[in-house]
Structure 1
Amino acid sequence: ALQSMQRDLANGRHMRFFNAAVDYEADFNGWHVSAKVGGTKGKSSFDAFYSTTNPADATTFAAGYLTAARTAFGPNVARLGYALAGTNGATVYDPSTALGLVMSGQYRASESDFYSVQGDLSVTRKFETGIGTHDVRVGLYGSFYGNTLLQAYQDMLIEVRSQPRTLDLVAYSSTGAVLGSVTQNGVLRYTTTLNQGQGDAQMIAFYANDTWDITRGLRVDAGIRTERYGYKGIALPTTQVNLGDATTLADDTTRAFTGQVLDQRLNPKATNWTVGVNYDLNGHFGAYGRISNLEVPPQLGVVTGINATIVKTKARQYEVGLKASFGPNYLYATGFYTKFNPFNASFAAFNPLTGRNDQTLPFIGEASVKGVEVDGRVVPIRWFSLEGSVTWQNPEYANLQNSSGADPSAVNGKQIIREAKFFGNLRPSFDFDLGAQKLSIFGRFEWVGRRYVDLFNRTAMPGYQTIGAGASLDWGAWHVQVVGDNLFNAHGLTEGNTRTDQFAGQGTSEAIYGRPLFGRNFRLIVSRSW
């Protein structure tokens, strides 16, 4: 049966939820007991409009639909032209007003009911031994949670500008008569994505950690947490149907439920641990190191979706550092190495031919990040300080494998998408004590190096720098602060088009489309304490 859904983009995102919690803490002859119980229940409603494809040449875009239009509306179709949506081709739209470009976007509607109940019980004890002091904590954590989900996405044709209008791509005869329309009231494809499912989960975790002060200046800490999950859920498969409207192509590839219900279950587990050591040679110099093991199990969505990729991500991280401290001055230098194995570099990207996220490239392998971070602060005079940090790293893919025949050699060794090799900041501050008032004037200079939007590093996002400044005044119980960011309107992209770029980039050596930096902006904060 055909169903319709009425949505309003102006509703945006709505979250309604109820939360309650009870905490209990007590000491029993040196044993500290902590018990916490909480619960949440709510509903999330989401309406948003996303760009999907990058801007396209309007002539090329229309030409891609000409054959299908002639098949559907007859050989008398002489050309395809643009018009404002809903005018039946009468109000012509000229793409040259937008540099000859058009683009498709997607209305996304989502509804979800969710709940969670969690509890935590832990015991902490500090005690002396023949070799130093131990501060030990052991605990048990459990939770029950779940959600329902309904998602419906629809593709629209829009102009390239702020607050874009929807467009129709109309089939005209040689005399200018309207013979049909690729779109319908601005809709390029009806219900290109349709998902519905429900899932419930149970999780129980045991954890323990110990901070061991062995001798003066020498400390070792270690912790472990092991988790067991139980997922059960249902998912409703879909198929592609033609709704049969002969006047448009917009309904030809509509998603519909098949009537089948998939019952899916999974029982993942994960164990995380860390061991660190810190040794202070004296009051000024020290060294430290840490090894950490991370496991991220598949999430609940694998039993509420269709053909989900099930991978437990594992990572091992190593850190070694030196530190120096002289009063308010300090310098930390840390070398780090993180290896993800296995690492899931698979992506389901938007396919402009189908309007669905069905372009999948399953790459499973390794990823590594190695580098050095330097963080410091210098106070040459009482009223001036300069803080800063600089990071150099080499994030790259390695040993990727593809089960569908794709060649991973073009990705192995490439820089991980949206990760820069070099970034940092400098933060000068002028602080004045004016008796009853304290005045601070500060600045911030940040830089981010070159990054890439795609796995193959074909399209780069150039590096950028921004400058900000601000001032704050404390006057008794009052606090006033004004901050300006990106004062010189620097240009830069924080990411490209995440819905399409992972595979082929944008067809250019540098990104021409994406999420830009905010321009010059200011914030004023006034607060009072009682």
Structure 2
Amino acid sequence: MRLSFVLLSGVAVMAVSAGASPSHAQPADRADSKVDELIVTGRAGALDRRRVEASYAITTLDEAALRLQAPMSTAEVFKAIPGFWVEASGGEASNNVRTRGIPTDGYSSVTIQEDGLTIQHDGGLGWLNADQSFRLDETIGRVEAVRGGPASIFASNSPGGTVNFITRKAGDTAEGLVKGTVGDYGMYRADFWYGAPLGDGWGLTVGGFYRSDEGVRSPGFTQNKGGQIRVGLSREFETGRIDINVKHIDDNVGFLLPVPLTFNDKQEPAGVPGFNPNYGTLAGPDNRLLSFRNVNGPFAFDLGKGTDVSLTAITLKLDLEIGAGWKLQNTGRYRTSDILRNGLFPTGNIETATGRLNSLRAQALAAYPGAVDIQYRYATSGAAFDPATANGNGLVVSGNLLTVSVPLKEFTNDLRLVRTFDLAGQTHDVAFGVYVSDFNYDYDRFMATSNLEVRDQARRLDIVAVNAAGGIVGRVTENGILRYGSLFDNAAIDARVYAFYGSDEWQVTSRLRVDAGFRQEEIAFTGSVEGKQTVDLGIAGTLADNQVITGTGAFTPIDRSYSGLSWTLGANYQIQSGLGVFGRYTDTVRLPSPSEFQGSPGDALRTDIKKTPVKMIEAGLKWQTDAFDLYATAFETRFENIRFNDNVFNPATNSFTTRVAYGETQTRGLELEGVLRPMDSWDVSGAVSWQNPEYESFRFTEIVGGVATVRNFAGNQLIRVPKVGVRLVPAVNFLEGAVRLELPVEYYSKRYADVANSQSLAEYTVINLNARWNVSDRLAVSLAGVNLTNVIGLTEGNPRAGQFISGDAGARYYLARPILGTSWRAALTYRF
């Protein structure tokens, strides 16, 4: 046998071909030839289907590929998939993913699956991104990612695609691994996995991880701490197989948000004096533990909890031959979770400390007649803060200390009947399915707005009113808080989803196959949203409690239902075993989410929230040889009647103003992925995406100087989506394949932080390093370096300054979220 490394979409796997086997080759790193690689995602049927025969765009990452890439978050896995624009700058969870011009954030139009079933029916549920409910570890053995195409036939809320994480299964012999990882940012992590046969067809797997670190952007305390445990039990019998999988997550991860930035003399993003843009964060010990005033008494806030996840999921999967050629496939999952999200959201605009004093002076002097001026004091120490020279920048910014609790219970089940039959000498592989999801959740949100200096691990500032002798006679703030209760929401929602779908893979000739499918889906939900009122808590000596938003005790009911039909038609022509072409048209729909109604009683009464039609057309080439692999897909997507929300923070009132717009988008593009392997000692792989994402229509009305003004941004580039994304991975192999070095290079073209395209996010290139040394058949050492050149690459601006029209456009100082600075991780893996 001859082993050669194959890189797929920028990550490495090992392929087997004829020839001599080097002495250092490890069975654990092998994968079958990609020409014969089978896929299960994006289709339903009784027959096996090779990737090269698929009539849609699909990327696969096997165990060896994941091990070499060593992603630390779910979003980082997506970087290896062409067509996906990934914002992985938010930390290990709560990131954003967009694909093929999808104009929505989070995972609202891209589904994360585990063993073929969505981990959360609505991945974009307000403040409950699907990636908060998933952790990647050594229990995952494979990933399959479908872009567009039939994804929306076999999964809800997935017009952009489906990413399926497939767990490891026990084999014929006992095997396992332990892995230890350390990072130069105080990271320590331990992973393990073990699988073994138990006899009589039974198999057992167990695995998980635990880790602790402060994060690359350290707040001065541990912000990522916890782990996951997973136990699987399976049994194969004469007519089928059953799998039971139990997973529990108990984990805290920090949520990274925009940081203060400025421009250098080349008009490139640069750090503000006193703040490191690659490693800094406004979060720090000074604003970790606080007590907020509220109507019902003090509210304890702990920024150190970050995204606090306690989740248990039980999955039952059954494959059964039921007679007459029919097979039953059923996957059901019950999930219960309690997820709390605490974060510090820098908001509004960065101001000079003197300017902020000037804007508040008249109000303070009117409130405290004995005062002659106002001054800054540090909230914790009472020491003076010099507004002119502090931290070398003399700047301040508001920080929203926000807490959101979203407990969720959900049952989801997908039942399929599949069968093949011949008709007039042609084979049909048909499937009929029923999908149900029943979930309920609460949504509780509370916020206080703080006054912060601009520096790494910022401290809270009080603004005090003083008399002629310098004595304090009153406070604009209290304990560094500008406004208690600056945001409040309380809602409870129950939802039920039913979907019926069917598909037929019709082998017309030995080379031509036609695929068709449909999905009829309905969602109905009920619930209630509490009304809001603004009250004065009556605390003497401070203005911070004068306008606390709280509940009224009166609830507005929600009772909605929506339905929609999706269908797809595709064809694949297999010119030869390793060469084929395909084409596909998909007409699908994204149904409204319950979270669109949870923000306020007014939202609960809205009648203009409707389903979003999506139309997609694509055509592709698949070509695999011993020397290279090439996958090319051209596509066009159109989204209609999309509702956009813009919540802009007003620093004058320390409150949000909501704007709503409707629009349509169109994106045309080309995706390329493949690998060139001229010889065993080196290869180059790549994933390239080019697209022209634009708004076909985007109109809204805003009040400017008391006059209603219509804004029209038709023809503008979609917010935060680059036109060009490139990932190239040159790689070399040493010592007969025992050592492998990769140098992934990523390039992203200019994007915009707002729909108006008034604030640009500069293009950037980032260089990483992956290295692995197979010391023996059992022991391996790996090294991963991220952002080796320490580039400041901006992934988003400051959404709270305005996503329709950015309030930071043209400002000398602004807020944006860059990728993380240079970091290193080293791992030692032992297999047994």
TM-score range, shorter chain: over 0.9
Give yes or no for contact 1:460–1:509 (8 Å, CA) kept in 2. no
Amino acid in the other structure paired with 1:463? E
**Which residue does the alignment assign to 1:361?**
659
Mapped partners of 1:258, 1:8: distance in 2: 26
**Which residue does the alignment assign to 1:329?**
628
Offset of residue 317 of structure 1? 1.2
Question: Structure 1 pair 197/424, CA: closer, same or farther in 2 (3 Å)?
Answer: same
Matches within 5 A, 1:333-352: 333-352=632-651
More relative contact order, 1 or 2 (CA 8 Å, 6+ apart):
2
Give yes or no for contact 2:701–2:710 (8 Å, CA) kept in 1. no
Root-mean-square deviation (CA, aligned residues, Å) is: 2.2
Question: Structure 1 pair 522/356, CA: closer, same or farther in 2 (3 Å)?
Answer: same
Matches within 5 A, 1:479-490: 479-490=780-791
Q: 3-state SS of the aligned residue for 1:473?
A: strand
**Which residue does the alignment assign to 1:412?**
714
Offset of residue 2 of structure 1? 4.0
Q: Which of residues 763, 770, 783 is equivalent to 1:470?
A: 770
Q: 3-state SS of the aligned residue for 2:636?
A: strand
Q: 3-state SS of the aligned residue for 2:595?
A: helix
**Which residue does the alignment assign to 1:425?**
727
Give yes or no for contact 1:72–1:246 (8 Å, CA) kept in 2. no
CA displacement 1:382-403 (0-9 Å, x = unmatched): 3211111322211111222336
Mapped partners of 2:497, 2:691: distance in 1: 36
Give yes or no for contact 2:646–2:802 (8 Å, CA) kept in 1. no
Offset of residue 93 of structure 1? 0.7
Offset of residue 129 of structure 1? 2.0
Offset of residue 122 of structure 1? 1.1
Matches within 5 A, 1:367-516: 367-402=665-700, 405-409=708-712, 411-432=713-734, 434=736, 438-474=738-774, 475-502=776-803, 503-508=805-810, 512-516=814-818
Q: Which moved more, 1:312-321 or 1:161-170?
A: 312-321
CA displacement 1:453-497 (0-9 Å, x = unmatched): 111111111110011122112331333321212111112111111
Q: Which moved more, 1:187-196 or 1:2-11?
A: 2-11
Amino acid in the other structure paired with 1:44? I
Aligned-pair identity in percent equals 29
Offset of residue 334 of structure 1? 2.3
**Which residue does the alignment assign to 2:326?**
31
Q: Which moved more, 1:492-501 or 1:1-10?
A: 1-10
Q: 3-state SS of the aligned residue for 1:125?
A: strand
**Which residue does the alignment assign to 1:526?**
828
Give yes or no for contact 1:459–1:510 (8 Å, CA) kept in 2. no
Give yes or no for contact 1:363–1:408 (8 Å, CA) kept in 2. no
Q: Which of residues 155, 158, 163 is equivalent to 2:449?
A: 155
CA displacement 1:77-104 (0-9 Å, x = unmatched): 33222110155xx521123223010011
Q: Give the length in aligned residue pairs.
A: 523
Q: 3-state SS of the aligned residue for 1:208?
A: strand
Q: Which moved more, 1:517-526 or 1:198-207?
A: 517-526
Give yes or no for contact 1:265–1:303 (8 Å, CA) kept in 2. no
Please, which runs of 5 or more residues in structure 2 have no aligned partner? 1-294, 703-707
Mapped partners of 1:332, 1:2: distance in 2: 60
Question: Structure 1 pair 350/21, CA: closer, same or farther in 2 (3 Å)?
Answer: same
**1:173 to 2:472 alignment:** no
Mapped partners of 1:197, 1:162: distance in 2: 36
Offset of residue 505 of structure 1? 4.0
**1:146 to 2:440 alignment:** yes
Mapped partners of 2:565, 2:831: distance in 1: 44
Question: Structure 1 pair 30/148, CA: closer, same or farther in 2 (3 Å)?
Answer: same
Q: Which moved more, 1:219-228 or 1:41-50?
A: 41-50
Offset of residue 325 of structure 1? 3.6
Mapped partners of 1:236, 1:323: distance in 2: 54
Question: Structure 1 pair 311/68, CA: closer, same or farther in 2 (3 Å)?
Answer: farther
Mapped partners of 1:478, 1:137: distance in 2: 44
Mapped partners of 2:312, 2:482: distance in 1: 39
**Which residue does the alignment assign to 1:41?**
336
Q: TM-score, normalised by structure 1?
A: 0.93
CA displacement 1:28-79 (0-9 Å, x = unmatched): 24211123333122322332222122321111111111121122112x5332
Offset of residue 351 of structure 1? 2.4
Q: TM-score, normalised by structure 2?
A: 0.60
Q: Which of residues 484, 489, 492 is equivalent to 1:198?
A: 492
Q: Which moved more, 1:475-484 or 1:144-153?
A: 475-484
Q: Which moved more, 1:94-103 or 1:395-404?
A: 395-404
Give yes or no for contact 2:350–2:814 (8 Å, CA) kept in 1. no
Please, which runs of 5 or more residues in structure 1 have no aligned partner? none
**Which residue does the alignment assign to 2:518?**
224
**Which residue does the alignment assign to 1:266?**
560
Q: Which moved more, 1:192-201 or 1:301-310?
A: 301-310
Higher strand share: 1
Matches within 5 A, 1:231-242: 231-242=525-536
Give yes or no for contact 2:420–2:430 (8 Å, CA) kept in 1. yes
Amino acid in the other structure paired with 1:384? W
Give yes or no for contact 1:192–1:354 (8 Å, CA) kept in 2. no
Q: 3-state SS of the aligned residue for 2:553?
A: coil
Mapped partners of 2:407, 2:394: distance in 1: 43
**1:136 to 2:451 alignment:** no
Give yes or no for contact 2:365–2:373 (8 Å, CA) kept in 1. no
Q: 3-state SS of the aligned residue for 1:455?
A: coil
Mapped partners of 1:284, 1:23: distance in 2: 33
Amino acid in the other structure paired with 1:7? F
Amino acid in the other structure paired with 1:424? V
Mapped partners of 1:460, 1:249: distance in 2: 37
